[in-house]
Amino acid sequence: MCAGADRMPEQAMDTSFLAGEAGNSRAVSIRYFNLYRIVVASAFALFGGVFNFGQNAPGVFVFSLVVYWVLAFSFFLLHAGSPRYGERTLGLQSALDIIMLALFMYASGGFRSGVPFLMMTSIAGTGLVGYGAMVLGTASLATIAVLMDQTFRFFTGDDQHVDFSQSGIICVGFFAVAVVARMLSRRALANEALARARGFDLMRQLRVNARIIEDMQDGVVVLGMEGSIRQANPSAEELFGATLPVGRHAGTCCPQLAQIAFSKTEGGPEQVHLAQTGKTVAVRRVEIPGETTGDGDILIYLEDVDRVQARVQQIKLAALGRLTANMAHEIRNPLSAVSHAAELMLEEKRQAVQERLVRIIRDNSARIERMIRDVLELGRRDRLTAEQLDLAQFCRNFVDEYAVHEAEFARLVSLQLAHGAQGWFDRVHLYQILSNLVGNARRYCSGTPESIHLIVSQPDERHVLITVKDDGPGIPEADRIKVFEPFFTSDPKGTGLGLFMARELAEANGANLALMDAPGGAEFHLLIRRTA
């Protein structure tokens, strides 16, 4: 309920804003229409005698002119005092225009005086600011006025000024102007409403963006090309230890900010020590060009390195805590077996049983030693020496070396090596990853020739792919999401750290190790970068 209640005032404000803008625009149009009416009345008063207006009925012309000017000025003043009044009397004003212009036309000798063209102007104005039937009503009134003038002259014998064909054409022009003006008005109103709605959406988006930037933990500063501050969030002010008011020049309120802004080192990030607060921040500077030279923005991102390092340290400590807890649990089982076997040896006198107990002690001790060795290797994951390796040759040498310890291995492996595949990797780390992947494949493959496939390919210009797959039973669906978790294993003699360590070493080298959905056996993909 609270969220809905919070949104309602904003929606109401949006609607009232749009309605208010539309009302203001319409009021301005009506005001200009009233001003045009005063100009027409004044022009007749000043230049009527010069152009022989009102020569057929001077009394009617003067009377109509006075009434028209007074009413036009009155409408202008009333609308200036209350725009709603002009809206309500718009139809009356349009009718006034047609009636007064019809009297001017009668007093000036009929439609040949040119007054009907002023009627067209009034009809066009009504079409631009009026609604619906008002426009056609004004055109109809003008048509009636012209035809009545022609009819009156016809019956009074004034054949010199009677021409029903031309007056009919003028009347058709009235309706044509009315329809065209109405269509243009509707299109203009639709475009205006669309522009106003988009403007409001843009304004709302700017408010949202400003709020997001304000709430960001990283510092953000937007500067003009000349160095004036256009936007700065509280995090940036906290990092610099200075107030960054909008409109001020960066050099006056924070000289180090101006130095960073005009350092011309776009990109980054670059670590900078802030003298005012003693903080070290990672700075990234981006220039956003404008439409013209010198008209753009400088966007500066500031990331607190100390805060990032503290967050990374917390993540490492949390991961170390989980790893230590799992190790304590995993080591407890082999240690219990070792202790129990040692106690039995003290009581057992038979040689065969003693040998079996010694074997149990040796196997579990070796398991503990492998587990500790894997953990130590995992701790050294960040100490890598990456180099450009010929991965095809490296995999060929790996198979030869592996076959030295197990002669049968050579006939089990099928090599498909892309010539000249270069990758960026630590040599020792890659050997450990391949040892884990190939060791698992050897353990679960069928044992037939070429039951293990080691493939080096180039899927694109930036990466090299090493694929290790076997023809074994594969990994059950329920276990697929857990294969890279520490201490998860289906082998009673395994430590459960092999694949976990392989993935960690791959990530340390910027590579990606993934288990693929492949029919028949397990398939692992190691995606390696071609360059650093």
Instruction: Give the pLDDT confidence score for residue 389 in this predicted structure.
Output: 92
CA distance 458 to 420: 10
List the pLDDT tens digit at each of the 532 positions of the chain: 343 433 334 444 444 444 455 556 677 878 888 888 888 888 888 887 777 787 788 888 889 889 988 988 888 888 777 767 666 778 888 888 889 888 888 888 877 788 888 888 888 888 888 776 788 888 899 899 888 888 888 888 776 767 788 888 889 988 998 888 888 888 887 888 888 888 888 888 888 888 888 888 888 998 888 889 988 888 888 888 888 898 888 888 888 888 888 876 555 567 888 877 778 888 888 888 877 766 788 888 888 887 777 776 666 656 656 666 666 656 666 767 777 777 676 666 677 777 777 777 777 777 676 666 666 665 555 567 788 999 999 999 999 888 887 878 888 999 999 888 899 998 888 988 998 899 889 888 988 999 999 999 998 888 999 999 999 888 888 888 888 877 677 766 666 777 888 888 898 888 999 998 877 789 999 999 988 6
Distance CA 149, CA 168 (A): 12
With beta carbons less than 8 A apart as the criterion, state whether 285 and 268 touch. Answer: yes
Q: What per-residue confidence (pLDDT) applies to 464?
A: 93
Q: What is the pLDDT of residue 129?
A: 80
Structure letter (DSSP) for residue 213: H
The per-residue b/e assignment along 365-375, b for 16 or more CB within 10 angstroms, e otherwise, is: eebbeebeebb
In the block, tokens 């903080």 appear at: 279
pLDDT at 282 (0 to 100)? 87
Pair of tokens at residue 66? 């006075």
DSSP string, 343-403: HHHHH---HHHHHHHHHHHHHHHHHHHHHHHHHHHHHTTT---EEEEEHHHHHHHHHHHHH
Look up residue 367 and give its amino acid.
R
| Contact between residue 164 and residue 150 where contact means Cβ atoms under 8 Å apart | yes
- pTM value is 0.43
Domains and CATH numbers, the chain: 13-198 (no CATH), 217-308 (3.30.450.20), 386-529 (3.30.565.10)
Tokens representing 97?
């225009």
Q: Cα–Cα distance between 506 and 519 in angstroms, integer?
A: 25
Residue-by-residue DSSP string for 26-74: HHHHHHHHHHHHHHHHHHHHHHTTTTTTTSS-HHHHHHHHHHHHHHHHH
Quote the pLDDT of residue 37: 85
Give the model's pLDDT for residue 59.
86
Per-residue pLDDT at 513: 92
